[in-house]
Amino acid sequence: MKLHNTLTRSVQDIQPLQDNTVRIYTCGPTVYDHAHIGNLSTYVFADTLRRAIQLAGFETQQVMNYTDVDDKTIRRSHEQFPDDEPREALANLTEKYIAIFNEDMDKIGNDIRAVTFVSATESIEPMKELITKLHAGGFAYIADDGVYFSIEAYRKSGKTYGQLLEITAQSTSEARIQNDEYDKESVHDFALWKKQKDGEPSWEFTLDGQDLTGRPGWHIECSAMSRAALGQPFDIHTGGVDNIFPHHENEIAQSTALEDNPVMATIFAHAEHVLVDGKKMSKSAQNFYTLQDIIDKGYDPLAFRLKVLQSHYRNQANFTWESLDAAVNLLNNLRAWADLKHQKSGQAKNPGEDTYKAELQTLLAATQDDLDTPKAISALAMVAGKDEAAGVDADKIQHFLNIADRLFGLQLANRPDITHEQKDTIAEREAARLAKDWAKSDQLRAALQAQGIDLRDTPNGPVWFRV
RNA sequence: GGCGCCUUGACGGAGUGGUUACGUGGAGGUCUGCAAAACCUUUUACACCGGUUCAAAUCCGGUAGGCGCCUCCA
């Protein structure tokens, strides 16, 4: 199984550090609002990556965090729950959006049961411990408004700040340096802990004899939680490309400052952003969509998943409603194909010996080659197209569908058969049709259509499909 | 300003030197009592300008346009 590593800017083999288990940490959502389709596409990537790794023969341990304390969650919680105590208001807000996030994940076919979720507010203790150690080690200093990480100290210890991308003096503009409003020693230094401001939720924290009651910085949560949940170093750290800098760079610094080994994770894998109508999503551009917007327009959330899988995770994909229409139609065709296994008239009479064997190899090989899902989906679509003409291999298709589902999560393998009553109606309609009783035939067909079942007549008899 | 990526047919989207990707849609036809996501055919592209090469969507240079990161945004 190969995967692109942002650290080395190359595609490399996944080799678990411990036993046969690939340990994955996925940067999760900040739960202050509905996730948008860009967020969700990144999680489709993380979900599919885990699936592909499992099919490559490895065990996996995947952890995702909820960022449930930060500027945005605090501000929003104050707006929505102005009468509650700050921490209560924060919990009210984030619990609401965590629930919505989990529902969204489920709807788009991401397997949340395969992931261990941890939230920042439940991990304050390990964060405080790490900050305390960093301070004792000389990598953190206390300023008026909080505790900062010292990039200079980190560099002086012989480690590289800028492992994921090169960080130079030229890459930071003068204006940004001058506009910097934080009370810190050096531009790139970042907050490990922020002292409480009026009305903000806070947790007690004493460092070096000083009362620093407040809340954690953003980056420290992932360093503390990934270590607590997976150990260090672990195998793969995933996120969106925007996480590369500063978030992941800062995580690396925090996580490795006190270690001999400057490696936080072997591979950092980043998903490109989704564009909408060729542009970055933004509310002002009116091209900002949540999953609910997609559902409200009548689309199946799994069509969105299929659309995401049809482009490579390291390319900027362009989301348009027209492309979602195309995905819907493909999904319907795949479903109609999968449903042929229930139908004699849709099955091949003399299937070959190795039906689906080569296609299965293509699916697995493609996804194990840096998660080439477009190629794999293309192979899937071709199998379905071939079968529609020749009929499915009733003996072997189930295994193929099982593997395809484990890989893509498109839920093709366990689609139910139609009812006995519906089957009887089809038989009755076929009898009427053969007797050239068109009125009765059409009436029975209409009755089935009312139940979401449509028919097409083939030389082998009628084939039903759901509409 | 610094660094990086991208530009493929109606739409989405693969493809790092020579071979129809694939999907969806459009058009024509076949089959069919009608219908149908069935069958056949068709729509065969690679931003622009130069260069390298027997041969370039694919390599090099330039131009134009788009996108991303440069402190809390997947």
Distance A278 CA to B66 C1' (A): 8
**Confidence check: pLDDT of A174 > 60:** no
Query: Which pLDDT value is given to residue A193?
Result: 96
Q: In this predicted model, what pLDDT tens digit does every residue of A332-371 receive, in sequence order?
A: 999 999 999 999 888 888 777 788 998 999 999 999 999 9
Q: In this predicted model, what pLDDT tens digit does every residue of A443-462 receive, in sequence order?
A: 999 999 999 999 988 888 89
Inter-residue contact A223 to A254 (CB < 8 Å): yes
Q: In this predicted model, what pLDDT tens digit does every residue of A83-93 receive, in sequence order?
A: 999 999 999 99
Question: What nucleotides of chain B have any atom within 7 angstroms of a protein Cβ?
Answer: 1-3, 6, 11-15, 21-25, 32-40, 66-74
Proportion of chain A above pLDDT 90, given as a percent: 80
Q: Considering the entire predicted model, what is its pTM?
A: 0.95
Q: How many CA atoms lie within 13 A of A118 on its CB side?
A: 22
- ipTM of the assembly? 0.93
Strands A2-5 and A10-13: antiparallel
Tokens (6 digits) for A169: 């003096």
Average pLDDT over residues A369-397: 90
Beta bridge partners of A415: none
Nucleotide nearest residue A454, measured CA to C1': B36
Nucleotide nearest residue A279, measured CA to C1': B67
Q: In this predicted model, what pLDDT tens digit does every residue of A16-60 receive, in sequence order?
A: 999 999 999 999 999 999 999 999 999 999 999 999 999 999 999
Query: Which pLDDT value is given to residue A175?
Result: 42
Q: In this predicted model, what pLDDT tens digit does every residue of A130-159 receive, in sequence order?
A: 999 999 999 999 999 999 999 989 999 999
Spell A384-413 as b/e; 16+ CB within 10 A means b. beebbeebbbbebbeebbebbbebbbbbbb
Query: Which pLDDT value is given to residue A8?
Result: 87
Name the residue closest to the C1' of B12 by its CA: A323
Per-chain mean pLDDT for chain A: 91
In 3D space, the residue among A97, A92, A84, A72 whose CA is nearest the CA of residue A199 turns out to be A84
